[in-house]
């Protein structure tokens, strides 16, 4: 059997959160009453002329720089012609052979080291209106009774990013997208939320035998609305293609939808994938020629990017945890805990679980670390209360640490005996095989001691006596 190697490239669309749309002054916001944010320009009334959004251009350049791209000295808007109700002009203003950003790369940390994913281009375009298909089972046009169009989204600024086919597994594709998303969010140019559609990704997938240098026929995978679905969709398509090749068939170039429920891919109707767009230069817009001064100013404005931080954090706690820590905004808290003596895995876990988004006052880090390090000695209540109050008030670790658990067997034993004596039915039930009743007894002891008994000792004592 040959060993198969997946070859994956991604096409990502990011909706920029500029105040206004790409070529008109309509407000650019998500949701709201349909068709309330439109004007002659984005509804394509005759004679209306587009004016490019300066901020959208600057943000696209910033993103390009963050992806290591070269910023073109001259970029041209083209008309991409297609006929569909989401597109009142009959064409979308996009970029074709002279995009704004070209030839970048992003390093994606992973368990086997960094993978470099080349960026072919990042260009600026306008989004289509949103079509809503009513009456079908799947929300798609097939089987729908009628369709509505919401032009609020029409003409909003969209960046399209196209990667080289450098990605070698579904997992790596997911990592790339997670890191890209975090980069976009930290640049402050988009919310990049897949659920809202402000980040969308399609995958080009093919497979080849390991050692092969050329590419085989690829398919395009669409309709995936979370990072996990993307990974699962790519895996399903890889499995399908391997099966086709191994059974002596040939993979056909086509556009596919991933169906989550059945974990399979299905072909789109041909009509939906007509691919001859007849691009030609947009006569109403002059070419973009960003000055080198502007590009340098934007480069200087770039914040520290998450890739480097996630890479070094990944060495301490693994890439997935590192990314989660950064993406959930708990990184600063974990760093504060580490600075005061906690190890990274513990600090990351406390920041993500116990504190979960709550940022303690700086002055409390030392006390918190002391409390975390002596967690076994103090009551659960005192432990958790210290985190809750650390956000708003100065905490005194001595006071918290004084609330010690009762771990003295001699002190707890008479109480345990009394509780067992008072509950003969539960004792019989436990001895009859219902191990779960143990929780009932532990609860009783905790209640009697106002939560101060050491649960570990209580469990040991109870088992000793019940199993005797
Ligand atoms: Zn408008």
DSSP string, 325-366: HHHTT-HHHHHHHHHTT--HHHHHHIIIIIITTPPPPGGGHH
Position 176 scores a pLDDT of 95
From ligand 1's centre to the CA of 193, what distance in Å?
23
* Angstrom distance (rounded) from CA 322 to CA 304: 16
The predicted model gives 42-52 an average pLDDT of 95
Position 381 scores a pLDDT of 82
Please list the residues that pair with 122 across neighbouring strands.
101, 161
Position 410 scores a pLDDT of 83
From ligand 1's centre to the CA of 195, what distance in Å?
24
From ligand 1's centre to the CA of 27, what distance in Å?
8
From ligand 1's centre to the CA of 37, what distance in Å?
7
From ligand 1's centre to the CA of 190, what distance in Å?
20
Position 275 scores a pLDDT of 66
Question: Which residues 6+ apart lie within 8 Å of 341 measured at CB?
Answer: 369, 373
From ligand 1's centre to the CA of 130, what distance in Å?
14
Position 274 scores a pLDDT of 52
**Average confidence score pLDDT of the chain:** 91
Confidence grade of residue 269 (pLDDT, cut at 50, 70, 90): low
From ligand 1's centre to the CA of 127, what distance in Å?
12
From ligand 1's centre to the CA of 43, what distance in Å?
7
Position 113 scores a pLDDT of 80
Q: Higher model confidence: residue 57 or residue 134?
A: 57
Q: Higher model confidence: residue 2 or residue 256?
A: 256
The predicted model gives 27-45 an average pLDDT of 93
Residue that has been written with the tokens 């070698």 in this structure? 168
**Could you report the per-residue pLDDT of 348-361, keeping only the tens digit for each?**
999 999 888 888 99
From ligand 1's centre to the CA of 26, what distance in Å?
4
From ligand 1's centre to the CA of 18, what distance in Å?
13
From ligand 1's centre to the CA of 382, what distance in Å?
57
From ligand 1's centre to the CA of 19, what distance in Å?
12
Position 447 scores a pLDDT of 87
From ligand 1's centre to the CA of 151, what distance in Å?
9
From ligand 1's centre to the CA of 91, what distance in Å?
16
> How far from chain centre, in Å, is Cα 222?
17
Contacts 24+ apart (CB under 8 A), 248-256: 250/217, 251/206, 251/207, 251/216, 251/217, 251/218, 251/219, 252/217, 252/219, 253/217, 253/218, 253/219, 254/219, 254/220, 255/219, 255/220, 255/222, 256/219, 256/220, 256/221, 256/222
From ligand 1's centre to the CA of 424, what distance in Å?
76
Q: Higher model confidence: residue 79 or residue 323?
A: 79
Position 454 scores a pLDDT of 84
From ligand 1's centre to the CA of 135, what distance in Å?
29
From ligand 1's centre to the CA of 338, what distance in Å?
50
Confidence grade of residue 270 (pLDDT, cut at 50, 70, 90): low
Instruction: Evaluate if residue 2 carries a pLDDT over 90.
Output: no
**Apex CA 126: angle with CA 125 and CA 127, to 5°?**
125
Let me know: does 31 contact 239? Beta carbons within 8 Å.
no
The DSSP result for 235-265, as a single string, is HHHHHHHHHHHHTT--PPP-EEEEETTTTEE
Q: Which of 404, 401, 411 is nearest to 445 (CA)?
A: 411
Confidence grade of residue 212 (pLDDT, cut at 50, 70, 90): very high
The predicted model gives 450-463 an average pLDDT of 86
Confidence grade of residue 278 (pLDDT, cut at 50, 70, 90): confident
From ligand 1's centre to the CA of 35, what distance in Å?
10
From ligand 1's centre to the CA of 423, what distance in Å?
74
User: Among the listed ranges 149-163, 167-181, 398-412, which one has the minimum average pLDDT value?
Assistant: 398-412
Q: Higher model confidence: residue 259 or residue 1?
A: 259
**Could you report the per-residue pLDDT of 286-324, keeping only the tens digit for each?**
999 999 999 999 999 999 899 888 888 988 998 889 988
From ligand 1's centre to the CA of 282, what distance in Å?
18
From ligand 1's centre to the CA of 198, what distance in Å?
19
Let me know: does 23 contact 126? Beta carbons within 8 Å.
yes
**Could you report the per-residue pLDDT of 105-129, keeping only the tens digit for each?**
999 988 778 899 999 999 999 999 9
Instruction: Evaluate if residue 271 carries a pLDDT over 60.
Output: no
Position 137 scores a pLDDT of 72
* Angstrom distance (rounded) from CA 197 to CA 200: 6
From ligand 1's centre to the CA of 155, what distance in Å?
7
Domain positions in the chain are 4-300, 328-401, 409-467
pTM: 0.83
Phi then psi for residue 440, to 5 deg, are -60, -45
**Could you report the per-residue pLDDT of 81-103, keeping only the tens digit for each?**
998 899 999 999 999 999 999 99
From ligand 1's centre to the CA of 225, what distance in Å?
27
Q: What is the DSSP letter of 194?
A: T
Q: Residue 131, CB half-sphere, CA atoms under 13 Å: how many?
A: 13
From ligand 1's centre to the CA of 20, what distance in Å?
8
Question: Which residues 6+ apart lie within 8 Å of 30 measured at CB?
Answer: 196, 198
Q: Which of 214, 269, 265 is nearest to 238 (CA)?
A: 265
From ligand 1's centre to the CA of 39, what distance in Å?
4
Q: Left if phi > 0, otherwise alpha if psi is -120 to 50, otherwise beta: which for 56?
A: alpha
Please list the residues that pair with 6 across neighbouring strands.
207
From ligand 1's centre to the CA of 326, what distance in Å?
36
From ligand 1's centre to the CA of 377, what distance in Å?
64
Q: What tokens appear for 406 in the block?
A: 């009762």
From ligand 1's centre to the CA of 366, what distance in Å?
54
From ligand 1's centre to the CA of 152, what distance in Å?
8
Phi then psi for residue 130, to 5 deg, are -100, 130
The predicted model gives 390-406 an average pLDDT of 85
For the domain made up of 409-467, give the CATH fold: Arc Repressor Mutant, subunit A (1.10.10)
From ligand 1's centre to the CA of 80, what distance in Å?
19
């Amino acid at each position: 059997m040959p060993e198969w190697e997946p070859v994956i490239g991604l096409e990502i669309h990011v909706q920029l959160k500029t105040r206004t749309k790409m070529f008109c002054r309509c407000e650019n916001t998500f949701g709201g009453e349909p068709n309330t944010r439109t004007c002659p320009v984005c509804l394509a009334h005759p004679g209306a002329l587009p004016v490019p959004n300066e901020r959208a251009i600057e943000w696209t350049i910033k993103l390009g720089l963050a992806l290591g791209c070269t910023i073109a000295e001259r970029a041209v808007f083209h008309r991409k012609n297609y006929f569909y109700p989401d597109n009142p002009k009959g064409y979308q203003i996009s970029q074709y052979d002279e995009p704004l950003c070209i030839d970048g790369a992003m390093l994606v940390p992973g368990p086997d080291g960094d993978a470099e994913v080349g960026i072919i281009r990042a260009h600026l375009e306008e989004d289509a209106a949103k079509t809503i298909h009513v009456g079908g089972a799947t929300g798609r046009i097939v089987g729908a009774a009628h369709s509505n169009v919401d032009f609020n989204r029409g003409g909003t600024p969209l960046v399209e990013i196209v990667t080289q086919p450098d990605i070698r597994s579904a997992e790596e594709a997911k990592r790339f997208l997670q890191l890209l998303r975090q980069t976009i969010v930290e640049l402050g140019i988009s919310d990049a939320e897949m659920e809202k559609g402000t980040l969308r990704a399609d995958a080009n997938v093919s497979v080849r035998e390991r050692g092969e240098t050329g590419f085989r026929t690829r398919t395009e995978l669409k309709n995936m609305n979370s990072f996990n679905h993307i990974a699962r969709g790519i895996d399903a398509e890889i499995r399908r293609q391997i099966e086709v090749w191994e059974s002596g068939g040939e993979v056909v170039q086509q556009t596919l939808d991933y169906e989550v429920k059945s974990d399979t891919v299905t072909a789109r109707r041909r009509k939906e994938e007509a691919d001859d767009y007849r691009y030609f230069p947009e006569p109403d817009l002059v070419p973009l020629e960003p000055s080198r001064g502007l590009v340098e100013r934007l480069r200087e404005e770039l914040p520290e990017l998450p890739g480097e931080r996630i890479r070094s954090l990944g060495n301490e706690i693994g890439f997935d945890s590192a990314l989660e820590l950064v993406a959930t905004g708990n990184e600063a808290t974990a760093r504060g805990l580490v600075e005061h003596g906690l190890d990274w895995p513990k600090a990351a876990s406390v920041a993500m679980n116990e504190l979960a988004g709550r940022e303690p006052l700086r002055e409390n880090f030392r006390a918190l670390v002391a409390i975390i390090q002596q967690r076994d000695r103090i009551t659960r209540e005192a432990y958790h209360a210290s985190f809750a109050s650390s956000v708003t008030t100065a905490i005194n670790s001595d006071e918290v640490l004084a609330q010690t658990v009762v771990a003295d067997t001699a002190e707890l034993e008479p109480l345990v005996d009394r509780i067992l004596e008072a509950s003969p039915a539960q004792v019989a039930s436990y001895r009859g095989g219902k191990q779960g009743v143990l929780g009932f007894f532990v609860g009783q002891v905790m209640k009697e001691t106002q939560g101060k008994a050491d649960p570990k000792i209580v469990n040991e004592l109870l088992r000793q006596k019940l199993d005797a």
